[in-house]
Chains A and B, each alone.
Chain A
Amino acid sequence: MYPSAKSPSPLSQEVLTAAQPDPAQLDNIKTQLDLVLLALEALTGSGSEALLQAAAELNLDEQVGDRVTLWRLRQSNPLRKGTSGRKKLDVEEARSLVLISCHVAKHHQELIRRAVALLEQLTEEKRPPHQAALLGDYLDTFTNTYQERMTNSSASTTALTNLALKLLVDLLYYSSPSGPRRLWVALLDRASHRPWNP
């Protein structure tokens, strides 16, 4: 099924009912988004307050107006611990989280860039990234928080570190004006497991 992320426009009922990605795709998107936010939080310390502020600046209060709503949206990630709470995330909410994430990333672009530059330098010198304080803190926070929150806490440290570093570089691209578009397309591409089709 071709993933459709269609505008809930008043065009037709078929459009409205077909507007959602299918459940498997949506699950994937929820996980992806939660992890992008986790990376942001681990690097920049941007917790709920920062996200809610971004929501206000973007006039997304309706979708993500308060801490509880935000928690519920992130909790919808199927990898999260806890069986209670809402597990649904609709397309509009996903879109809001995309815009919020990129907005926060943009705000911290300098920091993200510095972290990436440090990573490049250490890698070239064949030194572990933990040797730079900024990166060490980031990786520790990411790994610990992941293990606290997610159900598959058996994920290895190496795997988590790899993921954290990849997300760090991704954040750089999400921090630019094209960020939201890039993130949205990436979410859909990954969710549909489509082969790359340039």
Chain B
Amino acid sequence: MPLLSTPVSRRYTPPTCTLEITAQTSALSRWTGQPVLKQLQFQLSLEARRWGEPVQIRGDRRQLEALGEAVESYVQQLLSQTSTDLSAAPPAATEPQPDFPEPAVSRLDPLQAAPPGSFDRIQLQPKSFLSHDLFLGPLANETSGSVVNLSASGLFDLATALEESTAEASTLPPQRSLQNPPLWTRVAAIAVLFVGVTTAVQLSNNSADPERPTGDYPAEISQRANELPGASPLPPPPNAALPPFQLPPITVSPTPSSAPPLTTLEVSPGQNQVAPNAQRSAAPTPVPTPKAPLPNITVQPEASSDGSALPTIPDLETPAGTESLSARENTASKATQPSQTTFDGVPQVAEVRSYFQKRWQPPQSLDQTLEYTLSLNPNGSIQQIIPLNQAAKTYLDRTPIPLRNEPFVSPIQGNPKIRLVLGADGGVKAFLQSAN
């Protein structure tokens, strides 16, 4: 399993559009069982009607998700409006019957039919049941213009490409700058270093272990960081953002053993390397499990101007505390759209959130928050619904939680559990409780 990220690209080619996605796979992929992508960019080529050249659109992960959500909810709207009420006469009943029937698209909610001037959102509007206008909003560029007209099959192809791309890979939020990492990543870094140092101590006392070049040490730190998701929950960060700090020198007291003890492990900021002292250099690199009581280690963070000394630690998933965590994050996206928070981890969480945001209508009598754990089958349907409080149990039938084994969200490997929080005010929160 490569520790470094590897570039990937995917191409989805329904007949009238091409969606190309390029990204880097994250080391988290090993935990989710499917590719977890970061730094995702997409290029979409649409053969819209009446245009000679295909329309080219580019964007990042958030824009791709926004486009996907807009298209899927519009498609659902169209489907929901097929009226089987045949007593409703077609429009212009007094005119001679046209040669080509054009079923009227039902009256949309006026709010939905946005005036052409609103360019800030990606949205769709019907012209007829076979013709739809896609307002590109922030995706518009000079060659595409702000509106693209799609036929029924063009819209279907676009929806299909977006659906397939969602199904195939999860995405991570963009990597935060390492200049001001939140406290918990630093705690993680210290914990990782602690483990690394401890096992280094063990190995220095055990000369029977195989030699490995010390240059592997920083790589080992990254690997340990990757293993942390399995560990106990990390504490949420405090409100104040701490300044970046450097990994401090660590003093290790020797364990009773025959080999010469390790005295100091120096860590230099500004390099992604650990520079052991002369005695240390003879010792082999750490193995995963320490075999003796851990020595005391004093760690004192120091202020430093350069936070880039930290090894790259991928975003880790945390359980229920993510809500307060993401609320404090600079990059939390909840202000703008009902899309991913920083710790969604898998796109199904955003799908769950979006599903309920569209449907949740709290009953008048409800004055509490309803919390559920939803465990998912690999095909994306619900395996189990666990109400977590009495109100959740009582009001279960008043929520829009679908049937078990009903298509719900896109497929996902493993057996993830998603925490769903439905507020009495209509608010919806969702986060990944566990990946399997």
**Footprint of B on A, CB under 8 Å?**
2, 4-9, 11-12, 14-15, 18-19, 31-32, 35, 91, 95, 113, 116-117, 119-120, 122-124, 126-129, 152, 155-156, 158-163, 165-167, 169-170, 172-173, 176-186, 189-190, 195-198
Contact (Cβ within 8 A) B75 A173: yes
Q: Are A190 and B75 CB-contacts (below 8 A) given A7-B404, A14-B394, A169-B152?
A: no
Q: A2, A8, A176: which contacts B160 (Cβ < 8 A)?
A: A176
Show 25 residue pairs from A and B whose CB-CB distance is below 8 angstroms, ordered by the A residue. A5-B403, A7-B385, A14-B397, A15-B397, A18-B397, A35-B84, A113-B153, A113-B156, A119-B152, A128-B99, A152-B86, A162-B102, A162-B104, A169-B130, A173-B75, A173-B79, A176-B160, A178-B410, A182-B75, A185-B79, A186-B76, A186-B79, A196-B108, A197-B361, A198-B112
**How many residues of chain B have a CB within 8 Å of chain A?**
63
- Chain B residues, CB < 8 A from A176: 156, 159-160, 163
Q: How far is the CB of A134 from chain B (nearest CB, A)?
A: 14
Q: Tell me whether B382 is interfacial, beta carbon within 8 Å.
A: yes
Complex Cα gap A2–B358 (Å): 14
Apart from the given pairs A166-B129, A178-B163, 18 other A-B contacts in the complex at a CB distance below 8 Å: A4-B397, A5-B406, A14-B396, A19-B397, A95-B406, A119-B130, A152-B86, A155-B86, A158-B101, A162-B102, A163-B103, A165-B103, A166-B103, A177-B167, A182-B75, A182-B76, A190-B83, A196-B112
Contact (Cβ within 8 A) A185 B129: no
- Chain A residues, CB < 8 A from B358: 197-198
Instruction: Find the B residue at minimum CB distance from A102.
Output: B407
DSSP majority for the B interface? Answer: loop
Q: How far is the CB of A11 from chain B (nearest CB, A)?
A: 7
Q: Are A123 and B102 CB-contacts (below 8 A) given A152-B86, A173-B79?
A: yes
8 Å CB interface, B395-436 against A = 396-408, 410
Q: How far is the CB of A76 from chain B (nearest CB, A)?
A: 15
Q: Tell me whether B89 is interfacial, beta carbon within 8 Å.
A: yes
Complex Cα gap A163–B106 (Å): 12
- Chain A residues, CB < 8 A from B152: 116, 119-120, 169, 172
Complex Cα gap A122–B102 (Å): 12
DSSP majority for the A interface? Answer: helix
Complex Cα gap A9–B383 (Å): 10
